[in-house]
Amino acid sequence: MDYPNFVRIEQETSDEGPQYFVVHTRDPKMAVKFSAELKEGRIRSGTIQRVSVPNSWVGRYSEYAKLLTKAEAFFRASIDPVESSGGRITKFDADL
């Protein structure tokens, strides 16, 4: 997998359960909040809940849409599809 400069962050909350963020660490910095759904006992990638981009990128939709596509692919790739682990969210080491 080639997803340089992307990092996934998990945050436990008492109300909503775990929250998942993918952050692009280089310019342009952006953060995407994802949901993860539990279906048939396995965790599967859900939907994009929020996108945060810098104000300087207002109107550059095609440029950060490309980054959003990569962030979504990174999030899906960071979910372990191996049957032995039950599809749990696993740690992912990326070369930064």
Quick check: is 23 in a domain? Answer: yes
Question: How far from 18 is each of 13, 27, 43, 48, 89, CA to CA, in Å?
Answer: 6, 27, 12, 14, 11
76 within a domain of the structure (yes/no): yes
The answer to whether residue 90 sits within a structural domain is no
Residue 32 domain flag: yes
The pLDDT of residue 15 = 79
Rounded to an integer, what distance in angstroms lies between the CA atom of residue 19 and that of residue 12?
6
Domain range enclosing 36: 6-85
Report the distance separating Cα 30 and Cα 50, nearest Å.
11
Q: Is there a domain that residue 42 lies in?
A: yes
**Given this model, what pLDDT does residue 21 score?**
92
Q: Is 1 domain-assigned?
A: no
User: Cα(2)–Cα(58) distance, rounded to whole angstroms?
Assistant: 27
What is the rounded distance in angstroms from the CA atom of residue 91 to the CA atom of residue 71?
A: 16
Instruction: State how many domains the chain has.
Output: 1
Length of the chain counted residue by residue: 96
The answer to whether 4 and 91 have CB atoms below 8 angstroms apart is no
pLDDT digits (tens, 9 = 90+) for 33-77: 988 776 776 667 778 899 998 888 778 888 888 889 999 888 888
Q: Report the chain's terminal Cα–Cα distance, integer Å.
A: 12
pTM above 0.85, yes or no: no
